[in-house]
A and B are shown apart, each in its own frame.
Chain A
């Protein structure tokens, strides 16, 4: 089989990751995350002062602003804001910072498909950079069911998305565990996942949905590993003078 994206040979292959942290010097935390040619930058300011009408007595108020690649923000961006905010609200330990505000701004820098997943990953890296207390990290990935071949393709480009029968974005935390029987390595038990966010569009069956979830779950482990490596490199650089 061959994907429309010629740089990849396998249906379950992700595009190369790239990330950068602490790039903006006026934000408390910032990060950029790339899935191949899709790039999103995120900035975090907080815990900071918040307007009295938005103040919550026992928690921090989370505000998410999504800015598109071109033009003014529209309904799609508002939907993304809600998705990011509702996924992050249970994850952020906002009880530690009552009566404050945490403002997250997400800006698309380059768009080649899977923007929401890229935005989620950039956001979590920025939150880690800002030192906002979190219950766990998250990782996101998109997949499609191709309309011609019915194959599940991971991390689609814009070209591949145009040919999709259904598109699915999944976000998982790093606390779920996968159970696999050691006897039959080929057959894995049903995954017991805690999905933080799931968004699907198009026509698909129940089996297709759960198969997509499984495939995306495995791919998100690679995203988690990448986030860990990125944070590790940054911390090692900071500690060089003491520990070298």
Chain B
């Protein structure tokens, strides 16, 4: 049993399943000052401790005393509010069945699009790529999707992705690609114009003027996962030079 001590905030604090958060009367005192919010990767155990259940980096946000573990995996588990890329695998009168890379296909209501009515609804075929938002997800049921912003009712970028190419990457890399300061995307953008959609389910859609450019971008993204900034720069440079 390892109790984690938060000494250096700057060092990466790596936890494994079984590691416990530092005890300081966390569970007994339920006043607002001591209330904790647990994010992914942490769970309360029978012995009243808070234990990590995934291997990853322990993160803490003082606002709301939030604790979570940043971990990486390849298999997607649906969570509400996330934007994901799915493939239509089936069609019924009321729902599309969409493969999102989770254990079960998700359901997308036929009317869950901007301005869709019974008379005027979009017609998608099996194999179509859709950029959707997870409207409902829990562990017991199939996830439900929608292709619009729930508050405004507008499409806001959700909908069909035409053309292009999709690659499967790890969930951690997908999250890093969503960072506006992401290095490999910035470097690629200096040489090749392209458009891209990132699904937090580990799927990335890339589209550019030629197939060669598209494949180059996909390879660069895949390669960048375990490289540092310098290696990333030289990797992109060598790919672009070969073009």
Chain A residues close to B by CB (< 8 Å): 28-29, 45-49, 93, 96-101, 128-131, 133-137, 173-177, 227-228, 231-232, 235-244
Quick one: which of B2, B73, B75, B139 has the most chain A CB within 10 A?
Answer: B75
A-B contact count (CB 8 A): 112
Answer whether residue B17 sits at the interface, using C-beta atoms and an 8 A cutoff: yes
Answer whether residue B228 sits at the interface, using C-beta atoms and an 8 A cutoff: yes
State which of B17, B139, B228 has its C-beta within 8 Å of the C-beta of A241.
B228
Contact A130 B12, CB 8 Å, known A135-B53, A175-B1: no
Answer whether residue B215 sits at the interface, using C-beta atoms and an 8 A cutoff: no
Q: Which residue of B lies closest to A99 (CB)?
A: B140
Answer whether residue B136 sits at the interface, using C-beta atoms and an 8 A cutoff: no
Question: Which segment of B22-30, B54-62, B150-158 sits at the interface?
Answer: B54-62
Count residues of B near A (Cβ-Cβ below 8 Å). Answer: 39
Evaluate contact between B53 and A231: CB separation under 8 angstroms.
no
Shortest B138–chain A CB gap in Å is: 10
Evaluate contact between B71 and A131: CB separation under 8 angstroms.
yes
Contact A235 B103, CB 8 Å, known A29-B74, A174-B2, A241-B183: no
Tell me the complex Cα distance, A136–B179, Å: 32
Shortest B60–chain A CB gap in Å is: 15
Evaluate contact between A174 and B1: CB separation under 8 angstroms.
yes
Evaluate contact between A237 and B226: CB separation under 8 angstroms.
yes
Evaluate contact between A240 and B229: CB separation under 8 angstroms.
yes
List 6 A-B pairs, minimum CB-CB distance, nearest first. A131-B73, A136-B18, A134-B17, A240-B228, A133-B53, A100-B103
State which of A98, A177, A235 has its C-beta within 8 Å of the C-beta of B12.
A235
Tell me the complex Cα distance, A127–B140, Å: 22
Answer whether residue B227 sits at the interface, using C-beta atoms and an 8 A cutoff: yes
Shortest B201–chain A CB gap in Å is: 13
State which of B41, B54, B72, B75 has its C-beta within 8 Å of the C-beta of A238.
B72
Shortest B177–chain A CB gap in Å is: 11
Answer whether residue B111 sits at the interface, using C-beta atoms and an 8 A cutoff: no
Evaluate contact between A173 and B14: CB separation under 8 angstroms.
no
> Inside 8 A of B182's CB, which chain A residues have their CB?
241
What are 14 contact pairs spanning A and B, CB under 8 A? A28-B73, A28-B74, A29-B73, A45-B75, A48-B103, A97-B103, A99-B103, A101-B103, A130-B73, A130-B74, A133-B54, A135-B45, A136-B51, A235-B12
Shortest A167–chain B CB gap in Å is: 28
Shortest B183–chain A CB gap in Å is: 6
Tell me the complex Cα distance, A128–B51, Å: 15
Evaluate contact between B51 and A242: CB separation under 8 angstroms.
no
> Inside 8 A of A97's CB, which chain B residues have their CB?
77, 103, 139
> Inside 8 A of B227's CB, which chain A residues have their CB?
240-241
Tell me the complex Cα distance, A233–B232, Å: 18
